[in-house]
Amino acid sequence: MDFDSFTLAASTADLAEEPAAREHADIVEFRMDLASDPLAALDAYDGELPLLVTNRATWEGGEAAEPDEAGRFDTLAAATEYDAVAAVDVELRALTGDSDAVTDTSHATALRDLARERDVTVVASVHDFEATPPAERLRDLLDTAASEGDVGKLAVTAHDRSDTLALLSATHEATAAGERVATMAMGEAGRHTRAVAPVYGSKLGYAPVDPENATAPGQYDLATLAGLVAALDAPES
């Protein structure tokens, strides 16, 4: 999957919800870290939508069940064997080692190489659950994520309009530089960026299939986000 245009991902830990996502989503983000037996679920999957698999580390806000990084990436590597899997999420810090939580980047880089061999797109992701970094840091993060992965994803936490403006500006600049990026601001102050960021070049957005099972603060429900993005992208009359 090339993500050359905006792609809407329906997030879920239950692949049985896929039929409910078909009307609005382009891909399903399967939160393997939130599923009880994710590989069995992939084995049984016969849905129509392609999958973006995420096995989020605990040190980046997830609930991966594996006791170590090797096991977590082994699970992701196994997932890339399935034909339905079109993309895999890999934390940027796992690829670069820019974290006290990561002492060995070899598992992440090996997964990236394996995914590309299998024609699976790599989304290199960054999450800041506390704040929005300064503008220069936003561009650095996007540049690095886009170079380490096929798509660079940056999710920050916005506290005011200045934060959202900084994120949208960084999104525009990265896109103008030819990078494929996905951006969003978490929290109520940044909620509108999930609909607006595609206007500035963001290539990937997320919404829960079931609004009660949102995987990040400030998410719209799937139908609402799809409608907002479509309306903003509509040609002027």
Binding site residue list for 3-dehydroquinate: 29-31, 56, 194, 215, 219
What is the distance between the alpha carbons of residues 162 and 182, in angstroms, rounded to a whole number?
A: 19
What is the distance between the alpha carbons of residues 79 and 52, in angstroms, rounded to a whole number?
A: 10
What is the distance between the alpha carbons of residues 123 and 181, in angstroms, rounded to a whole number?
A: 9
- Catalytic (active site) residue 203: no
Q: Taking a C-beta distance cutoff of 8 angstroms, is the pair 128, 156 a contact?
A: yes
Secondary-structure percent of the chain, ordered helix, strand, coil, rounded to 5: 45, 20, 35
Show the CA angle centred on residue 146, arms to residues 143 and 150, nearest 5°: 170
**CB within 8 A of 180, min separation 6: which ones?**
3, 4, 146, 150, 151, 152, 203
Residue corresponding to tokens 């699970």: 75
Q: Which residues are annotated as a binding site?
A: 29-31, 56, 194, 215, 219
Q: Which residues pair with 12 in a beta bridge?
A: 30
Q: Taking a C-beta distance cutoff of 8 angstroms, is the pair 55, 32 a contact?
A: yes
Catalytic residue among 24, 107, 127, 203: 127
Catalytic residue among 153, 172, 192, 203: 153
Using CA atoms of 231, 228, 226, 219 in order, give the dihedral in degrees to the nearest 10: 170
Catalytic residues: 127, 153
